[in-house]
Amino acid sequence: MTVQDKLLAAQTPLLWDHPFFGVLILQLKKVDATNDPRIKTMATDGRHLYYHEPFVMSLKKEELVFVLAHEVMHNALEHHLRRQHRKPGRWNKAADYAINGELVECKVGKMPDCGLLNPAFTGLSSEEIYRILDEENNGDDSDENNMDGGGCGGVIDGCAPHDEAAKAELRAEMQTQIRQAVMAAKNAQVGKMPAALQRLIDEILMPKVDWRAVLRRFIDESSTRDYSWANPNRRLLPFGIVTPRTVSSGVSHIVIAVDTSGSIDADILKDFAAEVNGTYQEGAVDKQTVIYADAAVAHIEQFENGDELALHPAGGGGTAFSDTFEKIEAQFPDARATIYLTDIYVSDFGRQPPMPVLWGVYGRDSRDFAMLSPPFGELISITPK
């Protein structure tokens, strides 16, 4: 068996049993680094998998499966981008401790006997483990340049530590690959995900975006406003500041649709209404129509500038959006945008309306939210304060 055959034989069970790792390992270009004095086992820089042939040939199949997953974890956890000023050898050890406990718990292959494992380190970040190792070294820097003190494969910097542009490019590549790997794992529904990796995936797939800011931006882009000195901004007058007040150059009409087919958190409704009410005070919206619907429209309310928006859901049946959008087109042709508050558990989206749509999605975890792909409109994840 050649070294290429052995690597392929180890990739196959990863694809079947742990497709997240299997998809990521396929993305790496395999490079024979047997003659590279730095690499005695394996190493990765985010784009390549460097291997030392005698090391690969010495491993049993289950051990090689573990080592390949180990290298994938280095990249997925961005160890090739996070070292900064830290000593390369000690950073590799810290990263190994952070990875190996997670892989052992998930039963991915079998860790080689030389692998670094300390249950006290499982769940800690590489930075935290590095600090502990640094405090314990008592001035011994003999591991400073040992790229793989743990014997399970090391990690190399993907770019210069202070090259932020290159880091951003590598990070974007990795995040795209992670999305693809998550999709494959979700479709296969096999293989447990390490907790440390799951936390990172959650951050990547549903970054902490301020939905309130997105909502304001969406409404602002949908309104037509000008400024008038005839009626100055009263909120700043007590401070002796005179500024023009925003006024509509045309009636700005927003439709808010509320999906009542499931249970809606009262705090979400309260926060959402508060943010929309703020647009009244700022002059961004003159009129709002609120449509409550499940499989069909159940109730419609209208609010004019100066009214206090209050949401009172009615409904509770199945889910379909087609009737809502048909009513909007037929009854409210002047509407400039629709904001649909929904858990988006639906198959009938209806026909795309002649206006922008913002889906305010609640009740979805990060993985579910990341997989959503409505046929039209923009998505934001709504969470209460």
- Report all structural domains of the chain as residue ranges with CATH numbers, in order of start: 3-200 (no CATH), 211-381 (3.40.50)
Residue 171 CA from chain centroid, whole number: 13
Residues 98-155: tens digit of each pLDDT: 999 989 988 899 999 989 999 999 888 899 999 999 888 765 666 666 677 778 899 9
Please, are residues 52 and 33 in contact by the beta-carbon 8 Å criterion? Answer: yes
Section 319-341 average pLDDT: 92
pTM for this prediction: 0.57
Residue 315 backbone class (left: φ over 0; alpha: ψ -120 to 50; beta: rest): left
pLDDT at 56 over 90: yes
Helical H segments across 302-352, by residue range: 322-331
pLDDT at 51 (0 to 100): 96
What is the DSSP secondary structure assignment for residue 175, as one 8-state letter? H
25, exposed or middle or buried, with CB in 10 Å at 0-12, 13-18, 19+?
buried
- DSSP conformation class of 189: T
Question: DSSP strand E in the chain: where?
Answer: 29-32, 42-44, 48-51, 154-155, 225-228, 245-248, 253-259, 287-293, 297-304, 337-342, 357-361, 378-381
Q: From CA 188, how far away is CA 174, in angstroms rounded?
A: 21
The answer to whether 30 touches 187, Cβ cutoff 8 Å, is no
Query: pLDDT tens digits for 162-178?
Result: 888 888 889 888 888 88
